[in-house]
Chains A and B, each alone.
Chain A
Amino acid sequence: MATIAPAAYDSKVEGNIIFSQLDACINWMRKNSLWPMPMGLACCAIELMAAGASRFDIARFGAEVMRFSPRQSDVMIVAGTVTYKMALAVKRIYDQMPEPKWVIAMGACASSGGMYRSYAVLQGIDHLLPVDVYVSGCPPRPEALLEGLMKLQHKIMHEHAIEDQKRAQFEGVS
């Protein structure tokens, strides 16, 4: 996939004019203000909190606005062990998030069930939700989560925002 250059600035053109593509602008705006839905379910949530605090400071990547309402969030960070009892609640919260939305599976449990090979634990949240980025670790350090967030930002930069929106509209019609 070709990278869309975020902006082209031509100094020969007078004034405050920047030429760009709509896709690139939309993607750029989206990736720099990802509002997370902190789905903290186990010890990974502690590292998620650390990532939000001053030492690691997730605000450097524009994702500091933790929204506890799914209707205001863009990215769901599933941090922790998803039990079957909780799984459909997670799914329900995800369904309430407005498009476009992304999912980060943080840690071994959310990615694969982790060490819980058990009757009670969902073996990876990807059985229920489309996951964009998996972060390994048990729990992952805050740096690892930030790396995952940057990977997601990179992924968003490669999206075709307008095209996807049109396609979604047509799918809704048919």
Chain B
Amino acid sequence: MTTAQLAEKIKERFPNLSQTEFRDEISVQVPLEQIESACQICRDELGFNFLVDISSVDHFGEEPRFEIVYELYSLEQNIHLRLKTKVSEDHLEAPTISRLWEGANWHEREIFDMMGIRFANHPDLRRILMWDGYPYFPLRKDFPLEGKPSDMPDVAFSDVAPLAGGPFVSAPTDTGTKDREPRARPPE
């Protein structure tokens, strides 16, 4: 099955969903209520037996604010599909798909840890990178890169990192290597 045929099949199954294509990669925008059944259909009927990754995006200032991105892959047919679903800040909860793909367990824990999106019925929803009890969600856009101080006696603490005028980032420019290379460019 080619990507175009896949697109046809998806349209049969999800007639009302918006779909974008970029460089032969298909992304389907799924409402949050349907994401679990959509994943189920993709796995059982369309043959997507491999969950590559789940990631999340913070569209700060937009509504709904968060977006979860599911990357699916079919090892038999060698095709790739991306599902996207929006999550509102007022109701930060999405259904878990660790029932369908075991690997989703840790991906969802990471999203919970970094973005603060909870997953309903997740078997083990703990933080995975930061320690249990850390009060912030550090990958959100309104969290500063240098971090915030926190203290949890006998577990961990955190402090603000000295950025010395940074962060050190490169900026796209036509002028030359000298201006392009990473320098301390504080956020405006």
Contacts and interface: CB of A to CB of B under 8 A. Distances in A.
Given A85-B156, A120-B147, A113 B161 contact: yes
The dominant DSSP class at the B interface is loop
A84 interface: yes
Contacts of B162: 117, 123
Interface string A69-109: 00000000000000011011000000000000000000000
Interface in A115-174: 116-123, 127
Contacts of A84: 131, 156-158
A120 B138 contact: yes
Tell me if A's interface is mostly helix, strand, loop or mixed: loop
Contact of A117 (B138, B148, B154, B167): B167
A87 B145 CA distance: 19
Contacts of B156: 84-85, 87-88
B161 A123 contact: yes
Given A117-B161, A117-B167, A88 B147 contact: no
Given A120-B130, A120-B147, A88 B158 contact: no
Contacts of A113: 161
Nearest to B150: A84
Interface residues of B, number: 23
A168 B161 CA distance: 35
A128 B121 CA distance: 39
Q: Which of B130, B145, B161, B163 has the most C-beta atoms of chain A within 10 angstroms of its own C-beta?
A: B161
A117 B129 contact: no
A114 B134 CA distance: 23
Contacts of A127: 159
Interface string A25-43: 0000000000000000000
A121 B154 contact: no
A164 to B, nearest CB: 29
B146 interface: yes
B148 A119 contact: yes
Contacts of B148: 119
Contact of A118 (B136, B145, B154, B164): B145
Interface string B165-185: 011000000000000000000
Nearest to B131: A85
B143 interface: yes
Which of A116, A119, A120, A122: most chain B Cβ within 10 A?
A119
Interface of B: 129-131, 136, 138, 143-148, 154-159, 161-164, 166-167
The 10 lowest CB-CB distance pairs between A and B, nearest first, are: A119-B147, A117-B161, A84-B158, A85-B131, A119-B138, A84-B156, A117-B163, A123-B161, A88-B156, A85-B156
25 contacts: A84-B157, A85-B156, A87-B156, A87-B157, A88-B154, A88-B155, A88-B156, A116-B161, A117-B145, A117-B167, A119-B136, A119-B138, A119-B143, A119-B144, A119-B147, A119-B148, A120-B129, A120-B130, A120-B138, A121-B161, A122-B159, A123-B159, A123-B161, A123-B162, A127-B159
Given A116-B161, A119-B161, 8 more contacts: A85-B131, A88-B155, A113-B161, A117-B163, A117-B166, A118-B145, A120-B158, A122-B159
